[in-house]
């Protein structure tokens, strides 16, 4: 894993990066998509965020998934840290966050609301 202590722009995200810092505006929040692992329900949501270089989907896991949806809305500016990336066997790059040390939000009223389409989740092939 590549350790990245500075802010990363979305267009610079690569496979096997850890400790990324992303600053972006939320453009969509998915509904909860829980998975069951070892008889435990694990909450999962996707935040679509964009910055000046592009957009990506960040999967938020466990209790943080519910915390984010209670504190963030579409149009908020968010700072995400401890972001990690991983490429699947089929070449899709996944961006995950399991811990969050700070979320700073600000409402931007000019972002139109739209329904999150789970069939159109943004991924990057490497």
pLDDT tens-place string over residues 82-99: 888 888 888 788 888 866
* Residue numbers of the domain that contains 70: 2-105
Q: What pLDDT, on a 0 to 100 scale, did the predictor assign at position 114?
A: 46
CATH number at residue 90: 2.40.50.140
Inside any domain, residue 111: no
Residues 29-60: pLDDT tens digits? Answer: 999 999 999 999 999 999 898 988 988 888 88
- 0.75 exceeded by pTM: no
Task: Determine which helix (DSSP H) or strand (DSSP E) holds 71, and give its type and residue range.
Answer: helix 63-71
Cα torsion 90, 93, 98, 100 to 10°: value is -170
CA 48, CA 116: separation in Å to the nearest integer? 9
Helix, coil or strand: residue 31: coil
Inside any domain, residue 95: yes
Closest CA to 30 of 122, 124, 125: 122
Please tell me the total count of domains within the chain: 1
Residues 62-87: pLDDT tens digits? Answer: 888 888 778 888 888 888 878 888 88
Inside any domain, residue 126: no
Structure tokens at 44: 């999962």
Inside any domain, residue 119: no
Inside any domain, residue 26: yes
Q: Whose structure tokens read 């504190």?
A: 71
Inside any domain, residue 123: no
- Within 10 angstroms of residue 29's Cβ, the number of other Cβ atoms is 19
Inside any domain, residue 41: yes
Q: What pLDDT, on a 0 to 100 scale, did the predictor assign at position 39?
A: 94
CA 110, CA 2: separation in Å to the nearest integer? 36
CA 114, CA 21: separation in Å to the nearest integer? 26
Q: What pLDDT, on a 0 to 100 scale, did the predictor assign at position 40?
A: 93
Q: What pLDDT, on a 0 to 100 scale, did the predictor assign at position 111?
A: 47
């Amino acid at each position: 894993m590549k350790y990245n202590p500075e802010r990363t722009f979305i267009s610079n995200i690569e496979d096997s990066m850890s400790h990324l810092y992303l600053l972006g505006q939320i453009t969509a929040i998915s509904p909860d998509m829980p998975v069951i692992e070892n008889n435990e329900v694990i909450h999962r949501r996707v935040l679509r965020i964009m910055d000046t270089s592009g957009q990506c989907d960040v999967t938020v896991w466990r209790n943080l998934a519910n915390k984010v949806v209670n504190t963030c809305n579409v149009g908020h500016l968010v700072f995400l840290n401890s972001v990690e990336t991983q490429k699947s066997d089929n070449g899709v790059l996944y961006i995950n966050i399991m811990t969050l040390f700070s979320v700073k939000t600000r409402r931007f009223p000019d972002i139109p609301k739209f329904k999150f389409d789970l069939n159109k989740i943004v991924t990057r092939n490497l």
